[in-house]
């Protein structure tokens, strides 16, 4: 890990600025993302409406008029996007050594039975291993929630063992059921609701990823481990 | 107070202003597609900016008012028949209990916003025939001629024309603008983009000759916003609208400026426009100007409503 942080920073709209650390998916870069998010939340700025972390970037969405009035006191001394850019840059911690991101580990029960896992056999076939081996490799790792996106409560997790990394389907399925656990390249994720989707479905969890009050189970920065359960257990838990 | 939908239109829904603050968990801000029409509708009936309004497409719903109220409709310029009278967009209208409102064709624009005094109570999803929409407060205004006169307009109309443009949508360049070659950038300025049939509140697919011929790899997902111009693998554009996903992996070649989003939201499927690139400082200036003009019009509405009701 380098001692200083390099990044690019640019507006993505007239009311949003992105700081992009670059590079591939990695835990180190994602740690920097959440350190920056924490610093921005701590040093909150009136007019900022959303702080959106992704794999290797943080996007700050703001209400232009509020920032202009509250922060710049209605004066055009500096463009608002430049003011926001400075605020973000002032919160980038240049020293990234010795900082730990501590979060809870969440255990997710997953049934890998082919009746709820339409792609588990073809994934096994593509890698010339058994379905049982796919389950072993998928449950062996602790995954990081790198970000939420796509659907409310959908968690992009990684990094999947290279022996079971599988690209998305060329043509997405019109319907993937809520709770379906999928793989897409280095990523794994769970569909929080019924949706069209292209990920390779290798299992299904009986847990609800989002409740009726729109609270989500897998928040960015959390750690997740999958625990294999039988079809019987799945059906029992699913009824609860 | 309440209104009832006696004939559903196309995708009628209740909408607020964009609901921000949960995009990091994947929740789209949503809200009215045309925020200017949303704000104007509320101003014309004396509501706060964030009061819930009814968003309708064309053909719009047929509505019955269950109690007297003050209402208006904004957005697409059109007329409607209120019992036997014709009423127009951008007017405050006082209506009696039992009156029926039917919108007339054609309309200049794609979306109509109906507000009632006090605002609606929010209810999620697509509205159906016979749905009753409750409002958060009654309109305590007694007017003469009950039983004879079903509608009174207050005699003036807010002019919202300056907020809308129809041929050119202005954009700022995005972080992946450089996927376009010099030749493609030159060609871009002369292209027309048609709003495809497969367009909805999530996004507008724009039909054009391919704007880019190099195949760009999918990028790591990162945040996108209302107005983001995504380049698909087929070389076509999708512009993200109110119900957009919070993150995406397509190259982002630009973003529609905030000041032009209402104009885009009012373009019907099948209509075409050109794109002009401007710099972000110009985009900020236009947004500030729009906000100033909006506030002036909101203040004028407030003043006129006060004046009207104090005379009675």
Alpha carbon distance B42, B45 (integer Å) = 5
Interface touch B25/A79, C-beta < 8 Å: no
Q: The dihedral of CA B57, B23, A58, A188: what is its sign? A: negative
Q: Which residues of A touch B19 (CB under 8 A)?
A: none
Q: For A119-147, what is each residue's pLDDT tens digit?
A: 999 999 999 999 999 999 999 999 999 99
A184-A185-A191 Cα angle (round to 5): 20
Q: Is B151 left (phi over 0), alpha (psi -120 to 50) or beta?
A: beta
- Find the chain A residues whose C-beta atoms sit closer than 8 A to any C-beta of B: 8, 10-16, 18, 20, 24-25, 37, 49-57, 59, 61, 64-65, 68, 79-81, 147-154, 156, 214, 216, 219-220
Q: Which residues of B touch A10 (CB under 8 A)?
A: 175
Mutate to test the interface with B, among A25, A149, A210, A216 (most CBs of B within 10 A): A149
CA-based nearest residue to A31, from A61, A7, A59, A53 = A53
Q: Which residues of B touch A54 (CB under 8 A)?
A: 220-223, 247
Residues B196 and B156 in one domain: no
Q: For B141-159, what is each residue's pLDDT tens digit?
A: 655 544 444 556 667 788 9
The pLDDT, as a whole number, for residue A3 is 41
Interface touch A51/B24, C-beta < 8 Å: yes
Interface touch A216/B257, C-beta < 8 Å: no
- Can you give the CATH number for the domain in which B219 is found? 2.40.100.10
- Where among B133, B163, B193 does a domain terminate? B163
Sequence-distant (≥ 6) Cβ neighbours of residue A86 within 8 angstroms:
none
DSSP H or E segment with residue A85: helix A80-90
Q: Where are the alpha helices (DSSP H) in chain B?
A: 35-44, 182-188, 261-265, 280-311
The interface predicted TM-score of the complex, written ipTM, equals 0.94
Q: For A92-118, what is each residue's pLDDT tens digit?
A: 976 655 455 556 799 999 999 999 999
- The fold of the A105-239 domain, in CATH, is Cyclophilin (2.40.100)
CA-based nearest residue to B86, from B70, B72, B102 = B102
Domain count, chain B: 2
Residues B111 and B213 in one domain: no
Token pair belonging to A107:
């255990």
Q: CB–CB of B12/B5 below 8 Å?
A: yes
Alpha carbon distance B31, B72 (integer Å) = 19
Q: For A27-59, what is each residue's pLDDT tens digit?
A: 899 989 999 999 999 999 999 999 999 999 999
Q: Residue B67 falls within a domain, yes or no? A: yes
Token pair belonging to B157:
């109309």
Binning pLDDT at 50, 70 and 90, where does residue A207 land? Answer: very high
Sequence-distant (≥ 6) Cβ neighbours of residue A140 within 8 angstroms:
A161
Domain that holds residue B212: 168-278
For chain A, give every domain's residue range: 8-90, 105-239
Q: What is the CA radius of gyration of chain A?
A: 20
Q: Which residues of B touch A212 (CB under 8 A)?
A: none
- Residue B12: pLDDT above 70? yes
Mutate to test the interface with A, among B18, B24, B288, B290 (most CBs of A within 10 A): B24
CATH of domain A8-90: 3.30.1360.40
- Residue B227: pLDDT above 50? yes
């Amino acid at each position: 890990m380098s001692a200083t942080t390099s990044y690019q920073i640019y507006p993505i709209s007239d009311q949003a600025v992105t700081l992009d650390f670059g590079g591939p998916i990695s835990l180190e870069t994602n740690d920097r993302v959440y350190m920056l998010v924490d610093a921005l939340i701590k040093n909150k700025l009136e007019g900022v409406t959303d702080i959106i972390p992704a794999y290797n970037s943080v996007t700050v969405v703001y209400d232009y008029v509020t920032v202009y009035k509250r922060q710049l006191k209605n004066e055009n001394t500096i463009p608002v996007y430049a003011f926001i850019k400075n605020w973000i840059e002032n919160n980038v911690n240049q020293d990234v050594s010795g900082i730990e991101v501590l979060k809870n580990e969440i255990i997710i029960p997953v049934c890998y039975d082919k009746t709820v896992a339409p792609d588990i056999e073809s994934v096994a076939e593509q890698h010339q291993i058994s379905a049982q081996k796919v389950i072993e490799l998928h449950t062996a790792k602790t995954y990081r929630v790198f970000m939420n996106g796509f659907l409310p409560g959908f968690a992009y997790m990684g990094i999947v063992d290279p022996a079971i990394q599988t690209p998305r389907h060329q043509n997405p399925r019109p319907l993937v059921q809520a709770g379906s656990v999928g793989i897409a390249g280095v990523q794994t994720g769970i569909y929080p609701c019924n949706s069209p989707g292209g990920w390779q479905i290798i299992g299904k969890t009986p847990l609800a990823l989002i409740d009726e009050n729109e609270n989500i189970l897998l928040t960015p920065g959390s750690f997740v481990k999958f625990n294999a359960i039988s079809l019987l257990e799945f059906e029992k838990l699913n009824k609860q | 107070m309440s209104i009832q939908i006696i004939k559903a239109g196309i995708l009628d829904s209740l909408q607020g202003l964009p609901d921000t603050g949960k995009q990091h968990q994947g929740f789209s801000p949503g809200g009215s597609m045309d925020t200017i029409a949303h704000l104007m509708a509320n101003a014309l009936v004396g509501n706060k900016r964030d009061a819930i309004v009814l968003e309708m497409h064309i053909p719009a719903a047929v509505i019955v008012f269950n109690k007297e109220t003050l209402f208006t409709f904004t957005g697409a310029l059109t007329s409607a028949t209120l019992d036997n009278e014709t009423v127009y967009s951008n007017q405050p209208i006082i209506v009696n209990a039992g009156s029926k409102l039917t919108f007339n064709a054609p309309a200049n624009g794609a979306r109509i916003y109906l507000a009632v005094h006090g605002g609606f109570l929010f209810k999620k999803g697509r509205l159906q025939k016979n749905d009753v929409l409750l409002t958060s407060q009654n309109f305590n205004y007694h007017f003469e001629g009950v039983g004879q006169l079903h509608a009174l307009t207050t005699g003036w109309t807010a002019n919202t024309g300056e907020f809308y443009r129809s041929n050119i949508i202005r954009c700022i360049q995005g972080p992946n603008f450089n996927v376009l070659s010099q030749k493609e950038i030159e060609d871009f300025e002369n292209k027309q983009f048609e709003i495809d049939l497969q367009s909805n509140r999530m996004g507008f697919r724009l039909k054009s000759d391919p704007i880019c011929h190099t195949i760009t790899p999918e990028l790591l997902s990162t945040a996108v916003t209302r107005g983001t111009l995504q380049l698909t693998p087929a070389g076509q554009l999708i512009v993200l609208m109110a119900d957009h996903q919070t993150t995406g992996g397509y190259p982002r070649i630009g973003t529609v400026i905030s000041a032009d989003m209402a104009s885009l939201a009012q373009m019907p499927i099948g209509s075409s426009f050109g794109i002009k690139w401007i710099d972000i400082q110009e985009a900020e200036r236009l947004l500030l100007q729009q906000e100033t003009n909006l506030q002036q019009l909101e203040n004028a509405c407030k003043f006129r409503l006060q004046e009207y009701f104090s005379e009675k």
